[in-house]
């Protein structure tokens, strides 16, 4: 079984997280997307939205807890407006 | 890191909705109108239905917008339905949406909210059933 760990972060922090995790043997895959968010950050650029990075990390379920904690530490969620990290089970893996 | 604790949110779902470019705004607005906090939108490129529809497919934009919204279990169905209707997803080629359970979420939670959640709920006074009189005459 594998698990998806996703993070909605400030613009620019997604690639930093990718650089920190890409050599971790427990990470099966890591992807960064750029998007816009309506509610995560108070800073507004485009009317009601602000730019953000979405990081998707795929890991074995047995490693999910450790990687989840690692990502939340690196994202520093102790401050308001710092983003959000989620964990979601996936059903099948093929590679 | 000493002294810091992490609080997770549970019982949440993620709604993912893929619509044609420039349609996301109204779908997000509909979700917010029924209680969603907001959304994260990214751009994508879609394929599939566009090709299957033949000549009619030119009417479908290849550029897509992908909306992700995290909602609580209570509001999930309401938000899902509102987004479906706002995006006209009952029409061919307009898009697709799905919902996943999330194991947990970590984000900043104000201390006062954590403290309020930790407080035990006040017990309502329980009405004692009226004591039966013993030895009542029939």
Is the Cβ of A33 closer than 8 Å to some Cβ of chain B?
A: yes
Domain membership of residue B112 as a residue range: 8-118
Residue B122 has pLDDT above 60, yes or no: yes
Tell whether B128 is covered by a domain. Answer: no
Which of A21-25, A43-47, B76-80 has the weakest average pLDDT?
A43-47
Per-residue pLDDT reduced to its tens digit, B94-115: 889 999 999 999 988 878 877 8
Mean predicted confidence (pLDDT) in B31-55 = 83
Count of C-beta atoms within a 10 Å radius of residue B22: 10
Choose, out of A35, A46, A53, A90, the residue to mutate when testing the contact with B (most B CBs < 10 Å): A35
Confidence tier at B134 by pLDDT (50, 70, 90): low
For residue B55, is pLDDT > 80? Answer: no
- What gap in Å lies between CA A59 and CA A40, rounded to an integer? 25
Q: Give the torsion sign (CA, A68, A12, A35, A30).
A: negative
Cβ–Cβ gap B100/A88 under 8 Å: yes
For residue B87, pLDDT over 80 is answered with yes
Q: Where are the domains of chain A?
A: 2-90
pLDDT band (50, 70, 90) for residue B118: confident
Is the pLDDT score of A47 beyond 90? no
Interface touch A86/B100, C-beta < 8 Å = no
Q: Is it true that domain A2-90 has CATH number 3.10.20.30?
A: no
Nearest CB among A35, A80, A89 relative to B108 is that of A80
For B105, which of A39, A81, A84 is closest by C-beta distance? A84
Q: In this model, does residue B54 exceed pLDDT 80?
A: no
| Residue B49, pLDDT score | 66
Answer whether B1 sits within 8 Å of A73, measured CB to CB.
yes
Question: What average pLDDT does range A23-41 have in this prediction?
Answer: 88
Predicted confidence band of residue B123 (pLDDT cuts 50, 70, 90) = low
Residue A25, min C-alpha distance to chain B (Å): 23
Arithmetic mean of pLDDT, B71-80: 95
Phi/psi of residue B101, nearest 5 degrees? -75, 140
User: H helices within B34-138, ranges in order?
Assistant: 49-52, 73-86, 111-118
Interface residue A32 vs chain B (CB under 8 A): no
Query: Do A8 and B41 make contact, defined as CB atoms within 8 angstroms?
Result: no
Q: Would an 8 Å CB–CB cutoff place B39 in contact with chain A?
A: yes
Residue of A80, A81, A88 lying closest to B102 (CB–CB): A88
CB contact under 8 A, B42 and A3: no
pLDDT of residue A40: 73
In this structure, of A1-5, A23-27, B38-42, B117-121, the range with the lowest mean pLDDT score is B117-121
Residue B31 resides in a domain: yes
Q: Is the ipTM of this complex over 0.95?
A: no
Nearest to B15 by CA among B84, B64, B71, B87: B71
- What CATH number is given to the structural domain containing B74? 3.30.70.120
User: How many independent structural domains does chain B possess?
Assistant: 1
């Amino acid at each position: 079984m594998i698990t998806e760990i996703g993070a909605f972060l400030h613009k620019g922090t997604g690639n930093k997280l990718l650089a920190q995790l890409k050599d971790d043997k427990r990470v099966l895959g890591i992807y960064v997307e750029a998007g816009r968010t309506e509610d995560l950050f108070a800073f507004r650029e485009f009317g009601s939205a602000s730019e953000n990075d979405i990081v998707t990390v795929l890991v074995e379920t047995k490693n999910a807890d450790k990687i989840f904690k690692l990502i939340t530490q690196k994202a520093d969620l102790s401050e308001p407006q710092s983003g959000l990290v989620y964990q979601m089970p996936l059903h099948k893996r093929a590679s | 890191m000493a002294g810091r604790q992490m609080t997770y949110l549970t019982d949440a779902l993620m709604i993912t909705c893929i619509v044609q470019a420039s349609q996301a705004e109204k779908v997000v607005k509909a979700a917010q109108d029924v209680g969603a906090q907001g959304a994260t939108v990214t751009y994508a490129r879609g394929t599939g239905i566009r090709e299957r529809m033949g000549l009619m497919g030119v009417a479908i934009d290849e550029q897509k917008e992908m909306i992700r919204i995290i909602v609580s279990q209570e509001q999930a169905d309401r938000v899902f339905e509102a987004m479906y209707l706002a995006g006209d997803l009952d029409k061919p080629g307009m898009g697709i949406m799905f919902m996943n359970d999330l194991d947990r979420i970590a984000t900043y939670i104000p201390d006062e909210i954590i403290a309020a959640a930790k407080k035990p709920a006040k017990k309502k006074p329980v009405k004692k059933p009226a004591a039966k009189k013993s030895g009542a005459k029939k």
